[in-house]
Chain A
């Protein structure tokens, strides 16, 4: 089984877009997971619900929300289009946005568990040794939570690669520009090109399998 050049381009594009989306959501994931893991505050349940929403909403519904928001006439899209000349809908940026939004809940969940597993005693000790909040976070909390964080990153990446519903709504399926692995599988199935569909299916399975395996292995170690 060997892949055509077009298929390699699609795989390469998908991996690159998902790597970017995962990178983008990482700081936000940390920033959101931290207060969720450590503190109680009014409105916490609302935030938890909003963050989990993309996980349970029909992906096309999420795609629709993103479409409305980023379209040239939409809330943010308007600003981007008129002031910065940047289009999101029907471009690679929409692929990244859809992947980011859909994989965010998984990242937050894993990171939150990671933070919760850090024994706060170490943070206390670090403070007595003179470390401020930032130093405690970066030199003690993050390293000790790293297994959960890495697991979250891997899971988010895998979810991004598997994203379809939101992507097709907000990015469309434009060959060479926004066609991802999932979109291409859909198209080849539609057109009856089964051989190609199966090749891409195998690639998807490999990526997903590897990512989930790695994520589970890391989380098991973290629980010890």
Chain B
């Protein structure tokens, strides 16, 4: 009887201590990172006792949530502007900020579309509706607007634009066939089986896309967050990022 009791006490102690060490790292990441980050986190959790919990969305929406004190530990944004906003508001630990990734823009069309686009100005005549992430706030949309404005095409194409909540929603709109084409990241096009790339914006001609990452100042899991951040810069993570089509900066 006392041996049974002792075993139970040891078991409970082990379980409790296991839970005491395991932390939950809340990562608020741009929508375009959804698939790649889930895979990387799954790998990470095999090696670590920590758990990674994600909140994916438009970087603009996430930044606003963090400003409203949402419990994020890490912010992984799709553009520098949103990270700058948080930095100005004193919400991030600046010393932990770094540019991790880059990406490129593509024009996608539904799989069954006959459309061919050899240059962006063909959009003026060949399509009726173009999905893009909301150019007023979401990085993917802002990059697109930047790019098209640079070519002098934005004003003429604006009436064709169907703005969406985030870049994945733009992708979904193209997948559903309710729009003729859409601007998304190359990495988004890669994971979708229902769209094909009609035009790739050459990286040199395209907007400077930067994915900065940083630890949120008010994090309660600083150690765990730092561990994960380090992992994201490791070779293992790099392989996965590149497989998805991201351009790794470090």
Asked whether any CB of A lies within 8 Å of a CB of B in the complex, the reply is yes
Residues on A lying within 8 angstroms of B by beta carbon are 67, 71-73, 87, 89-90, 172-176, 187, 190-192
> Chain A nearest CB: distance from B158 CB in Å?
9
Q: How far is the CA of A2 from the CA of B161 in the complex (A)?
A: 29
Top 8 A-B pairs, shortest CB-CB distance: A89-B178, A72-B177, A90-B162, A73-B177, A71-B178, A71-B176, A72-B178, A172-B162
Q: Are B137 and A191 in contact (CB under 8 A)?
A: yes
Contacts across chains A and B counted by CB atoms under 8 Å: 37
Residues on B lying within 8 angstroms of A by beta carbon are 60-61, 64, 129, 134, 136-137, 159, 161-164, 173, 176-179
Q: Which residue of A lies closest to B180 (CB)?
A: A72
Q: How far is the CA of A72 from the CA of B176 in the complex (A)?
A: 8
Q: Are A90 and B64 in contact (CB under 8 A)?
A: no
**Chain A to chain B contacts (Cβ below 8 Å), 18 pairs:** A72-B177, A73-B176, A87-B129, A90-B129, A90-B162, A90-B178, A172-B162, A172-B163, A172-B164, A173-B163, A174-B161, A174-B163, A175-B163, A176-B159, A187-B136, A190-B60, A190-B61, A190-B137
A175 contacts across to B, CB distance below 8 A: 163
Q: How far is the CA of A173 from the CA of B60 in the complex (A)?
A: 16
Q: How far is the CA of A191 from the CA of B135 in the complex (A)?
A: 12
Q: Are B163 and A71 in contact (CB under 8 A)?
A: no
Q: How far is the CA of A175 from the CA of B164 in the complex (A)?
A: 11
A190 contacts across to B, CB distance below 8 A: 60-61, 64, 137
Q: Are B64 and A192 in contact (CB under 8 A)?
A: yes
Q: Which residue of A lies closest to B164 (CB)?
A: A172
B173 contacts across to A, CB distance below 8 A: 90, 172
Q: Are B178 and A191 in contact (CB under 8 A)?
A: no
Q: Are B179 and A71 in contact (CB under 8 A)?
A: no
> Chain A nearest CB: distance from B210 CB in Å?
22
B163 contacts across to A, CB distance below 8 A: 172-175
A192 contacts across to B, CB distance below 8 A: 64
Q: Are B176 and A191 in contact (CB under 8 A)?
A: no
Q: Which residue of B lies closest to A173 (CB)?
A: B163
A174 contacts across to B, CB distance below 8 A: 161-163
Identify 7 new A-B residue pairs, CB closer than 8 A, beyond the known A67-B176, A71-B176. A71-B178, A87-B129, A172-B162, A174-B162, A174-B163, A175-B163, A190-B60
Q: Which residue of B lies closest to A178 (CB)?
A: B162
Q: Are B164 and A191 in contact (CB under 8 A)?
A: no
Q: How far is the CA of A90 from the CA of B173 in the complex (A)?
A: 10
> Chain A nearest CB: distance from B5 CB in Å?
51
